[in-house]
Amino acid sequence: MRKKQKKIKNLDINQTSFYFEDYLETNKKNKSLHKNKLFQDRIYLLFFLFFSLIFIFSIRIIHVSLNKIQIFSHESISKKNNLLRRDIVDRHGELISRNIKSFHAAINPKYIKNKNNFLLKLRINFPDLPFRKIENNLNKGKYFYLKKRITQFEKEKLWALGEKGIIFEPFQTRVYTHSNLYSHIIGQVDYDNYGISGIEKYLDKELRDKNLTNFPIVLTLDTNIQHLINQELNKALLTFKATGGASLLMDVNNGDILSLVSLPNYDINLRSDVKDIKYMNKISKGVYELGSIFKTFTVALALDNDIVTPKTIIKNLPQSVSCSKYEISDIKNFPKNLSVEDILVRSSNIGTLLIARKIGEEKYKKFINDAKLLKSPEIQLEEVGNPINFDWNRCKLETVSYGHGITTTPLQAATVYASLTNGGKLIRPNLIKGKNELNFERIVSKKTSKQINDILRKVVTEEEGTASLADVFGYNVGGKTGTSENYHNKKENLNTFISVFPSQNPKYVLLVMLENPQVAEDLIYDYRGLKIKASRNEAGWNSVYVSGKIIKKIGPILAIKDKDFNSQYVAEKVN
């Protein structure tokens, strides 16, 4: 028994227990499994984090995609900026006026550490500022404005100074993309964004309507045509040394105004207070004696009342006519016998006077009242003139017949020409697209309108006509000249030409007026194929010349946009 136990003991001593070895292996395996499990957990966590980020970004991308139109739409921008006024655009959507974000530059002296250094930097960058006043304000330590309505360039220069005390106060300002091109039409707004002149004032309530912020006011004007006419008229002022000028292009059928230019003009972005009379809107506010253009009214009235026909001969025309204490005569010597149409073509004062006497005062009064020649123009502008009232005393009928002693605005005169040549329908001048007011009231019959168009064409084409320089090929221009004294200064001439084209079926009326033009001694005219110089200072040698230049420039644009006008032009060119 003892031997047996001893043997067991010896066995235990010399042999390592297999139980111990199994424990160590198991322990190692457990630790390895634990590490693997931790590694897998971390992978799962990272995967979850990446998946979450991808999911979040995906949702955001889908959200942005679905709301892209709303985010970048004009509506959302308008709401964000809270625009105070609507845009103004031309008939083709060309931007004319818009509110934008701008800044005033203010100073908080508390944040200016080195005032002397600050003043020095200002002197270097803005030498025109009132530095004594700025220094006093800095010493007072109160918040003040350094400069109001600064430009983006000025803002960047001030920001570059690196001064915390410079504060940029945001506000809305009105900008005009064409500066002085539309100055007499668009007008201006004050610092509080209220209209104070032009369309801005006339339509102030509509322009400030917050419910219509996204819908601009669309004008009848054409920016390209406005630019071309403005360019030619500016050249004319230099060529003829005129003190001022004006032009109007209007659709004869509906009164839509495609262009209105008055020179000199001014930059409406400068917000200057313009008081000089030379800067007024000469087309709608200017009141003038327009001279011989009234002869067309006299002839049209006589034709419409069947008193004469275009071929009626007025016999034994005297060289002069005594009327009260006045002696009325013609500038040129005319034949003793002239037809009614020749009287208008040659522009005879005596012939027109005798026709007016056949018409009589009552009928002439009615025509002037129906044509509203002595009333303020009806147009979407605040700046309109009031023709001077007069009494129908002795000789008034005779002098009014050829445009002397009666005043009106160029806008009213052009409107009557449009009405006389469009078939006789009265129209109203219009600046807002789609707002033209048409009526069926007539000023003359269709027959009379056709007769007047034929005569006006002869004023341009006949050898004795006064407007041959406006005979632009392809456009069948007709019209009437007017040379008169400036009502405000009898020493100055006022030369006017009102044209219609194409004369066989008029689409447009164009008025060109020059104030106090001089003879262009260096200008060579192409007069019926001859190269000549002018020796007279009459409308036929300046306003007519300018009208021809304008029609040659704008005619192709009008022809392209008007199919009927274009087909007429092509037909004449082929023939």
> pLDDT at residue 409 above 90?
yes
Mean pLDDT score across all residues of the chain:
87
Cα distance between the two ends of the chain:
151
Judge whether 135 lies within some domain: yes
What pLDDT does residue 28 have?
Answer: 56
Both 372 and 251 in one domain: the answer is: yes
Both 428 and 473 in one domain: the answer is: yes
The region of weakest confidence among 80-84, 162-166, 266-270, 377-381 is 80-84
Query: Among 202, 218, 234, where does a domain finish?
Result: 218
Both 161 and 262 in one domain: the answer is: no
Q: What is the mean pLDDT of residues 49-64?
A: 80
User: How far apart are the C-alpha atoms of 313 and 303, rounded to whole Å?
Assistant: 13
Q: Is 363:301 a contact under the CB 8 Å cutoff?
A: yes
Q: Is 522:436 a contact under the CB 8 Å cutoff?
A: no
Torsion of CA 66, 68, 73, 78, to 10 degrees: 90
* DSSP letters spanning 164-190: TTEEEEEEEEEEETTTTTTHHHH--B-
> pLDDT at residue 541 above 90?
yes
> pLDDT at residue 157 above 50?
yes
Both 169 and 247 in one domain: the answer is: no
Grade residue 57 by pLDDT with cuts at 50, 70 and 90.
Answer: confident
Both 248 and 327 in one domain: the answer is: yes
What pLDDT does residue 144 have?
Answer: 94
Q: Determine phi and psi for 274, rounding to 5 degrees.
A: -95, 115
User: How far apart are the C-alpha atoms of 448 and 442, rounded to whole Å?
Assistant: 11
Domain count for the chain? 2
Structural domain boundaries, residue 549: 226-574
* Tens-place pLDDT, residues 219-249: 999 999 999 999 999 999 999 999 999 999 9
Both 392 and 442 in one domain: the answer is: yes
Burial of 271 (0-12, 13-18, 19+ CB in 10 A): middle
3-state SS string for 243-302: CEEEEEEEECCCCEEEEEEEECCCCHHHCCCCCCHHHCCCCCCCCECCHHHHHHHHHHHH
Long-range pairs, 154-163, Cβ under 8 A, ≥24: 154/105, 154/126, 155/103, 155/105, 157/125, 157/126, 158/105, 158/125, 161/118, 161/121, 161/122, 161/125, 163/111, 163/112, 163/118, 163/121
User: How far apart are the C-alpha atoms of 155 and 147, rounded to whole Å?
Assistant: 10
Judge whether 252 lies within some domain: yes
3-state DSSP assignment of residue 425: strand
> pLDDT at residue 77 above 70?
no
Query: Among 186, 218, 250, where does a domain finish?
Result: 218
Both 237 and 178 in one domain: the answer is: no
3-state SS string for 503-562: CCCCCEEEEEEEECCCCCCCCEEEECCEEEECCCCCHHHCHHHHHHHHHHHHHHHHHHHC
Both 165 and 252 in one domain: the answer is: no
* Tens-place pLDDT, residues 458-475: 999 999 999 999 999 989
Q: What is the mean pLDDT of residues 142-147?
A: 93
508: CATH: 3.40.710.10
User: How far apart are the C-alpha atoms of 63 and 177, rounded to whole Å?
Assistant: 37
What pLDDT does residue 76 have?
Answer: 39
For the chain, how many helices (H) and strands (E)? 20, 16
What pLDDT does residue 13 have?
Answer: 45
Amino acid at 262: S
Judge whether 39 lies within some domain: no
Judge whether 38 lies within some domain: no
Both 384 and 456 in one domain: the answer is: yes
> pLDDT at residue 134 above 90?
yes
Judge whether 41 lies within some domain: no
Grade residue 25 by pLDDT with cuts at 50, 70 and 90.
Answer: low
Judge whether 496 lies within some domain: yes
What's the token pair of residue 370?
A: 């129906």
Q: Is 525:571 a contact under the CB 8 Å cutoff?
A: no
Beta-carbon contacts of residue 325 (< 8 Å; ≥ 6 apart): none
Q: What is the mean pLDDT of residues 40-54?
A: 78
Query: Percent of the chain beyond pLDDT 70?
Result: 87
> pLDDT at residue 19 above 80?
no
> pLDDT at residue 438 above 90?
no
> Is the four-CA dihedral 329, 334, 336, 337 of positive or negative sign?
negative
What's the token pair of residue 63?
A: 């959200």
Q: Is 281:184 a contact under the CB 8 Å cutoff?
A: yes
The region of weakest confidence among 142-146, 174-178, 438-442, 503-507 is 438-442
Q: Are strands 244-251 and 257-263 parallel, antiparallel or unpaired?
A: antiparallel
User: How far apart are the C-alpha atoms of 341 and 199, rounded to whole Å?
Assistant: 41
User: How far apart are the C-alpha atoms of 568 and 474, rounded to whole Å?
Assistant: 8
Both 149 and 193 in one domain: the answer is: yes
Both 214 and 232 in one domain: the answer is: no
What pLDDT does residue 566 have?
Answer: 55
> pLDDT at residue 565 above 90?
no
> pLDDT at residue 34 above 70?
no
Q: What is the mean pLDDT of residues 389-399?
A: 89
What pLDDT does residue 237 have?
Answer: 97
Which of the two residues, 206 and 50, has the higher pLDDT score?
206
What pLDDT does residue 535 have?
Answer: 78
What pLDDT does residue 305 have?
Answer: 96
> pLDDT at residue 4 above 60?
no
Judge whether 526 lies within some domain: yes
Judge whether 15 lies within some domain: no
Q: Is 261:233 a contact under the CB 8 Å cutoff?
A: yes
Q: Is 263:245 a contact under the CB 8 Å cutoff?
A: yes
* Tens-place pLDDT, residues 489-517: 767 889 999 999 999 999 999 999 999 99
Query: Among 194, 218, 242, where does a domain finish?
Result: 218
Burial of 315 (0-12, 13-18, 19+ CB in 10 A): exposed
Both 142 and 264 in one domain: the answer is: no
The pTM (predicted TM-score) of the whole model is 0.80
Please report which helix (H) or strand (E) contains residue 54, including its range: helix 18-66
194: CATH: 3.90.1310.10
Q: What is the mean pLDDT of residues 258-280?
A: 88
